[in-house]
Amino acid sequence: MAERRMFSKSITESDAFLDLPFSAQALYFHMAMNADDEGFINSSRRICGMCGAQENDLKILVAKGFMIHFDSGIYVIKGYDENGKPNAMNAAWGGISEETQISICVDDGHKTAKNVVKTGAFTVSIADAENVVACDYVGIVSGNKETDKIEKAGWHATKSEFVDAPLFDELPMALECKLISYDEETCRLVGEIVNVCADEKILDENGKIDLNKFSPITYDPVHHTYRKIGDVVGKAFSDGLKLKEE
């Protein structure tokens, strides 16, 4: 790994970068110095601790586009705009933060963020292999510029019965959420999950989601491809007991 790094003034002296908290700016430089020669980092928490940064600083860098976070599922976030027109975007940083809450990092420049704040509601689907082209499309095209984004994706919207947000018929599962909070500084969107809906075609005989029928995707940063999730490799909270007993 190289011992020296070069930084571009077009980035570090831009308004977007200088508007960041000082702690996030410092973290950016430390991350760059500790990245491998391909720009990847696998010790972000250690680096945060080393320079006194917080997890929110890391999330801000991701949300503002100064870093890219990989290795999580692809979330499709949906909402209505001021005219009742459905819109959707992709997010890579998010997850269940409480038993009935989801937290996602969404930059305030996204049209979807503005829609969610205005309506107080949104739905979240996990992108799947069957819809990979459309899901990729809504992630690379902005609703601020393309008014017919959903129509071009080939999706059909149905209003949720539980929240003021759309569901897309083509995506087989979704979390229906009420907005709890949105912090423009940290770009953290928090929602209360009020309902989970799933198409019967992806359920097993016990009414649970079957990953043999539903193929959620994740992003492979090495090859810049999407990969399916599904194979069982172990039993959670069970396999490790073998070592505990020894």
Question: Which residues of the chain are modeled with pLDDT < 50?
Answer: 1, 70-72
- pLDDT for 159: 94
- pLDDT for 3: 66
Q: How far does the chain reach from its first CA to its final CA, in angstroms?
A: 40
- pLDDT for 105: 83
Interacting residues of 72 by C-beta distance below 8 A, sequence separation 6+: 92, 93, 94, 95, 218, 219
- pLDDT for 74: 61
Question: Exposed, middle or buried: residue 186 (CB in 10 Å: 0-12, 13-18, 19+)?
Answer: middle
Please work out, in degrees rounded to the nearest 5, the angle formed at the alpha carbon of residue 178 by the alpha carbons of 71 and 98: 50
- pLDDT for 201: 94
- Reported as type and span, the H/E element at residue 58 is helix 55-63
User: From residue 22, how far is each of 10, 26, 27, 29, 113 by CA, in Å?
Assistant: 18, 6, 9, 11, 24
User: From residue 221, how far is each of 16, 70, 217, 237 by CA, in Å?
Assistant: 25, 6, 13, 28
Sign of the alpha-carbon torsion through 17, 5, 55, 22: negative
